[in-house]
Structure 1
Amino acid sequence: MPAPVIAAQSLVKTYKVKGKPDFVAVDGLSFEVAPGESFGLLGPNGAGKSTTMKMIGAVSTRSGGDLQILGLDPDRYGPEIRSRLGVVPQQDNLDGELNARENLYIYGRYFGLPGKVCHRKADELLAFAQLEDKATSKVDQLSGGMKRRLTIARGLINDPRILLLDEPTTGLDPQARHVLWDRLFRLKERGTTLVLTTHYMDEAEQLCDRLIVVDKGRIMAEGTPASLIREHSSREVLEVRFGSDRNAQVAERLQGIGDRLEVLPDRILIYTHDGETALERITAAGLEPITSLVRRSSLEDVFLRLTGRSLIE
């Protein structure tokens, strides 16, 4: 087996808080990422994902544990590691005064690449990002999806071994998201290692070979999207609505149907191997839901079961 390009063992990051105990943002994470793998970090806001990404990116020192990036300690070899990474931040930080090609050219010069190489790579990356016709357009004239594709292209200017993507499609419309997914699939096919955070569970299912679910700085689950669904959910989910004033009352009569039942304010979720059979049992009992839906269990069901449905900031 090839050596992992990222290896974290009992990784810890704490912050000093005046007058209070240290805040633990990352609490003993252990994971490995193989070369060419697409690896995801999922978790609610404040779970420690971005902090972990900063340590992987060698821009934040760890408080404890061990971390190796491309076989090097990022606390000792930060510049060497950063020269071999590509970074796509959560917010686009392109230079609005420059056009698309100039943004790529200038960024390549930061890495010490010769001007001729920067010109050639800028044209190649504009083609990769499907932005050839926008090469001379100022950044402010680009759509949100175009800016994200340009930011990804910029992160590839130094032929990185690892590309770090922090919520790469946040705020994009469905068409732009799918175009971006296609670009990332092409990078995977080239052997680039992808490490991404995302709040879109369908995106994680599409892009990630393997992922960890993090909450309060700790790993709640690890595996492929399919294995996590099998382990923490059912094959199908039946959603039924009887009205917000009746759901809790009706739920008592639904006990025993399916593997697990969850009562929400607007609907009841029944986790089961066969949603249609569960619905037949409900109607056979004389209960008629206002609406019903049988769907495939998803990574979002896993995520909400592991991290909860309440919004905690």
Structure 2
Amino acid sequence: MKYYSIIQLFLIALSVPALGDIKSSGISGVQPFYRIKGVSIHVLVAPGMQNDPGFYSRHFRVKFKEVNKIYLNKTGKTVAGYTNGQPNIYFPEISIQLHYGNRYTYYDVKEDTDEITQLLDKVQGGNKDHINMVVVGKYKESVSSKGSLSGHTLCLKCTRKDEGIDKELIILNYESLFLRNEVKFGTGGTLIAHELGHYLDLNHPFGINFCSDADGIPDTPRAVGQFWYYNPDGSLRKNPCVNPPPKSPECILELRRRLVQNVMDYGPCRFMFTNRQVAHMLDFLQGKRTGIYDTVALDPASLDPTPESVTVNAAWYDCQ
């Protein structure tokens, strides 16, 4: 990876208020990138979950390589009729903390219980300049929820807020990250990329029960329904990424087909953001999350999406 001088970086940044408006820097191939200072992942290890530190190091290295490919637009994939957005955001340093506890406290976690409040208070006491994540065995929004969520982003600064929540945290489901059927739901890397999109103020581009411009982004097609990759009889749609469903009757006025490759949708096909999604993320990053990144000048061709550092520490406490 090639870095450039502070003077070069200043000249680039001065003429580039946002990556959506990149201007020539005068340095061949060099662009400004947003280098996230760190991602802190707290894994609440319960019986039935992997307790080997090497497991988490290996898997999160692979998953964040995929995340970086998406946010650096290095997937090598395209969609006819769309230009992949270029966030130029990357996540080079991942620190993992393993916390050990019993199944009741750490495995089946519900947001509206005293346990989750105590746990979130505990794990959020770290570096405020990092993006904080928690991995639990299963996660539900409430005691009454029937199913578990793959992920959930608690965001004080975002447009879409959780009422009564005073946390900035991404919660990830262990089963969704490491055990789920990727053919049906997508990879653990795309799950993390999706939740990071929420952390940067992006919403889902679909309505739950009606056709909706739910995310307010002009270049994402309106859509309806979460689980488009299932047939009405409950079976998985065959080759959903190359054979997406036709437009639903509710979206008859939408001229564009559902963009199932959008990271903020659901399903197994996700790998891209649109240009306007990127512009929104970068505006939010520069306005509301200025403390979590450094701006660096790099040649994109020299930037390896593999994280530079993945460290694991095991905390032998909280055993109950």
Query: What is the TM-score normalised by the length of structure 1?
Result: 0.24
Higher relative contact order (CA 8 A, sep 6+): 2
Structure with greater helix percent: 1
